[in-house]
Amino acid sequence: MDINHRQADQQIRETLQDWPKIVAQYQKPDKKKAYTQIANTFLPFVGLWILMYFSLSWSYWITLGLAVINAFFLVRIFIIQHDCGHQSFLKK
């Protein structure tokens, strides 16, 4: 049992030592990807808000369903803003 724990600890240490190399490619901002993410997040978010406004005259249930979908875009907007705060999304 003790040997298995040592082997597992060694594997964990080796894996943790590789992490800087693994995540290095994600630490550099990429303008093309950043602007693509902004476009495919903010445009649907605004579009769904407009659709929600007009759907109020049809059914509150439709509006609620659209709001649930729009919540996922709101989470993406939060993630983008968070990454911008760490300057990992865009340099400026």
> Could you state, in order of their start, the residue ranges of all structural domains in the chain?
27-85
The answer to whether the CB of 28 falls within 8 A of the CB of 86 is: no
Helix (H, G, I), strand (E, B) or coil at 84: helix
The answer to whether the CB of 77 falls within 8 A of the CB of 41 is: yes
Amino acid found at 61? W
**Lookup: tokens for 82:** 């968070």
Whole-angstrom distance, CA of residue 8 vs CA of residue 1: 11
Q: Round the average pLDDT of the chain to a whole number and report it.
A: 87
Confidence of residue 44 (pLDDT cuts 50, 70, 90): very high
Tell me the average pLDDT across 56-71.
96
The answer to whether the CB of 66 falls within 8 A of the CB of 48 is: yes
